[in-house]
Chains A and B, each alone.
Chain A
Amino acid sequence: MEALIGALTIFVLAVFVGFEVITKVPPTLHTPLMSGSNAISGIAVVGAILCAGAEGTSLFATILGFLAVVLAMINIVGGFMVTDRMLQMFKRKKD
């Protein structure tokens, strides 16, 4: 129970931080914000790696973990790369 309250505390505080930070993102950058947060939600890869690499589990569990790693990595690599591609377009214009 103690651990749950700790985790909930972190969750709630992180939501507040999220609101604070994200309301400051200008509308011009809302599309990169969405693709960038796609990349961040790829953090599920942490769970995926733990599932795909665990010993002594069924092959079924390992394969689910493997698929999760693939999907999360698509999000991470694709998300950060496409965000960068867009942001370079905004940068280039200034000079």
Chain B
Amino acid sequence: MMLINLAYLIAAILFILGLKGLGSPRSAPRGNMLGAVGMLIAIIATLINKEVMSYTWIIAGIVVGSAIGAIMAKRVQMTQMPEMVALFNGFGGAASLLVALSEYSKVAGHYHNALVADAGMAAPQWSVALLLSAIIGAVTLTGSIVAWAKLQGYADKAMQLPNQSLLRAGLGLVLLVLCAWFVVKPEMGIVLYAIALVALLLGILLVIAIGGADMPVVIALLNSYSGLAAAATGFVLNNNGLIISGSLVGASGIILSKIMCKAMNRSLGAVLFGGAMVSDEQMANIPGKEFYEGKVKSCGAEEVAMLLENAQKVVIAPGYGLAVAQAQHVTQELADLLEKRGVEVKFAIHPVAGRMPGHMNVLLAEAEVPYDKLVEMDNINPEFSQTDVTIVLGANDVTNPAARDDKTSPIYGMPILEVDKSRTVIVIKRSLSPGFAGIPNQLFINDNSLMLFGDAKAVLQDLTRAVMEL
């Protein structure tokens, strides 16, 4: 038993070293490998535990799970990473929920047989840990499934159920009462199952009202929950390996949700407990089409090619629209071409440029953009004033100068890419339609802005051709 616990400690150390490896792209693959080795050690240590008597179900589970996981990892497209992470969060939560229920059923069996369980059936801390593991696991499971469905586009909008907050509060109250009941009478198995059911419902209710724009926060938060559920399972089983690993994941998810919230100028409370980004009152004051009337300058690919030809420094500011148009590769082609002609090219990455933290970086890395060309917001912003041409590609709200200048703007205070400070801004966009915030973009009518209308991929192909012909 001592050896086994030592093995869990080694696994936990390897997880920490693995996460530390993620501190730079160079050391990251090795870090990931260390994490995998740690997991292997933890699994082997568990298999030799003398409590494990029969291996049939275990081996079946390992084979089936590994096969499904491997296929998913190989097949997933990089644009689909948010969906995959959402699903995996759900699986992690479900595993903790199932372990809690199974563990209860196991110990309860002993209890009724009058064998006093080692886990200390009568000890309230055991019941509380069991409850936390089941509840967090259940909320993570259904919450993640709803998040996944939203990312897939099945339920994209924030769905407001009637009396939503009342419903949530009611369910929460029922949950509390049931929990108190279970802690007092842990032999009532039916109460535990009722608790699991209520928690599953609560998970749906918590996420269903959250809009598509806030999904990066939600996925990060559910990521954290899946870790906390595992940590709670660790308390149930009295296993330090689970506690340490679970809390690492819990911390990671919380940090990422905080970063995402800051990048969107939202509070975690506002994301979770409702509230659209723009209030109804603000919505009424948002100007319509007349905002752009006669003030937008549009141009063609040849004109932009000439500007690029004469530029010394070009910055590309991509948004998710770039990925939707599948234009990552042609973007890199253009960047390559410009560099060969002696132009300095950088990419400006806003934290919410993709649909999850760091998503845009992965999409561009896949298109073979070197990672040292990807510059984060705080580092690139001071450089815009020395930039000749900035190309805004499928990004909208995150480039709106109103967030910086206009105190009455609904997005005032949101950190933006200050693309408007560069000499010329080229905005490649299909139309003048608004982004997630639903407001017009001041950038599009600025004197130094030129609109290049069209599908990002087609426009970039034209642009690349035009540059080559110069």
Q: Is B284 an interface residue (CB 8 A)?
A: no
**CB within 8 Å of A: which B1-60 residues:** 8, 11-12, 15-16, 18-20, 22-26, 28-29, 32-33, 35-36, 39, 42-43, 46-47, 49, 51-55, 57-58, 60
* Contact of A7 with B234 at beta-carbon distance under 8 Å, contacts A27-B361, A78-B88 already known: yes
- What chain B residues lie within 8 Å of A56 (beta carbons)? 109
* Contact of A37 with B99 at beta-carbon distance under 8 Å, contacts A21-B20, A46-B242, A93-B365 already known: no
- What chain A residues lie within 8 Å of B358 (beta carbons)? 27-34
* Contact of A47 with B99 at beta-carbon distance under 8 Å, contacts A17-B248, A62-B57, A74-B68 already known: yes
Against B, the Cβ 8 Å flags (1 = close, 0 = not) of A70-95 are 11111111111111111111111110
- What chain B residues lie within 8 Å of A70 (beta carbons)? 61, 64-65, 68
Query: Chain A: interface residue count, which band?
Result: 35 or more
**CB within 8 Å of A: which B317-362 residues:** 349, 351, 354, 356-359, 361-362
* Contact of A45 with B19 at beta-carbon distance under 8 Å, contacts A19-B255, A64-B98, A74-B72 already known: no
Against A, the Cβ 8 Å flags (1 = close, 0 = not) of B224-254 are 0011011101111111111111111111110
* Contact of A74 with B65 at beta-carbon distance under 8 Å, contacts A28-B371, A43-B39, A53-B58 already known: yes
How many residues of chain B get a CB closer than 8 Å to chain A's CBs?
115
- Assess the A46–B46 pair: CB atoms within 8 A: yes
Q: Which of B24, B91, B361, B366 contacts A72 (CB 8 A)?
A: B91
Q: A91 to chain B: closest CB distance in Å? A: 6
- What chain B residues lie within 8 Å of A80 (beta carbons)? 32, 35-36, 39
Q: Is B370 an interface residue (CB 8 A)?
A: yes
- Assess the A19–B105 pair: CB atoms within 8 A: no
Q: A69 to chain B: closest CB distance in Å? A: 3
- What chain A residues lie within 8 Å of B171 (beta carbons)? none
Q: Which of A11, A41, A55, A77 contacts B54 (CB 8 A)?
A: A55
In the A-B complex, the 4 residue pairs with the closest CB atoms: A73-B65, A18-B251, A69-B61, A30-B358
Given A15-B247, A81-B74, A92-B368, 16 other A-B residues pairs in contact with their CB atoms under 8 A: A10-B240, A18-B252, A26-B23, A34-B223, A34-B253, A37-B227, A38-B89, A41-B227, A43-B42, A58-B105, A66-B61, A68-B98, A74-B66, A81-B69, A89-B362, A91-B28
Report which B residues bind A (CB closer than 8 A): 8, 11-12, 15-16, 18-20, 22-26, 28-29, 32-33, 35-36, 39, 42-43, 46-47, 49, 51-55, 57-58, 60-62, 64-66, 68-70, 72-74, 76, 78, 81, 84-85, 88-89, 91-92, 94-96, 98-99, 101-103, 105-106, 109, 125, 219-220, 223, 226-227, 229-231, 233-253, 255-256, 259, 349, 351, 354, 356-359, 361-362, 365-366, 368-372, 374, 376
